[in-house]
Amino acid sequence: MIKPHGADALTPLFVADEARRNELISNSSALPQVLVSSAAAANAVMLGGGYFTPLNGYMTKADALGVAREMRTEAGVFFPVPVLNLLQDVSFKVGDEIALLDPNVDGNPVVAVQTVASIDQLSQDELNEIASAVFGTLDPEHPGVAAFFAQGPYVVSGAIEVLNFSYFETDFADTFRTAVQIREEIAQLGWEKVVAFQTRNPMHRAHEELCKMAMDATGADGCVIHMLLGKLKAGDIPADVRDESIREMVKHYFPENSVMVTGYGFDMLYAGPREAVLHALFRQNMGATHFIIGRDHAGVGDYYGAFDAQTIFDTDVPEGALEIEIFRADHTAYSKKLNKVVMMRDVPDHEFEDFVILSGTKVRELLGNGVAPPPEFSRPEVAKILMNYYQSL
- Report the catalytic residues: 200-201
Whole-angstrom distance, CA of residue 8 vs CA of residue 210: 31
- Dihedral pair phi/psi, residue 172, rounded to 5°: -130, 55
Whole-angstrom distance, CA of residue 375 vs CA of residue 383: 9
Q: Phi/psi class of residue 366: alpha, beta or left (left: φ > 0; alpha: ψ in -120 to 50)?
A: alpha
Q: Give 285's contacts (C-beta < 8 A, 6+ positions apart).
A: 4, 5, 10, 50, 51, 52, 53, 179
CA separation, residue 368 to residues 203, 364, 372, 373 (Å): 17, 6, 9, 11
Whole-angstrom distance, CA of residue 106 vs CA of residue 234: 21
Distance of CA 20 to the CA centre of its chain: 29
Neighbours of 340 (CB within 10 A): 11
CA separation, residue 178 to residues 151, 168, 318 (Å): 25, 10, 27
Q: Give the side-chain half-sphere CA count within 13 A for 309.
A: 29
Q: What angle do CA 10, 321, 270 make, to 5 degrees?
A: 80
- Give one DSSP letter per residue of 273-290, joined into a string: HHHHHHHHHHHHHTT-SE
Q: Say how many Å lie between the first and final Cα of the chain, rounded.
A: 44
Whole-angstrom distance, CA of residue 232 vs CA of residue 170: 19
Dihedral angle over CA of 382, 383, 384, 385, nearest 10: 60
- Dihedral pair phi/psi, residue 305, rounded to 5°: -70, 160
Whole-angstrom distance, CA of residue 95 vs CA of residue 99: 13
Neighbours of 18 (CB within 10 A): 8
Enclosing H/E stretch for 365:
helix 360-368
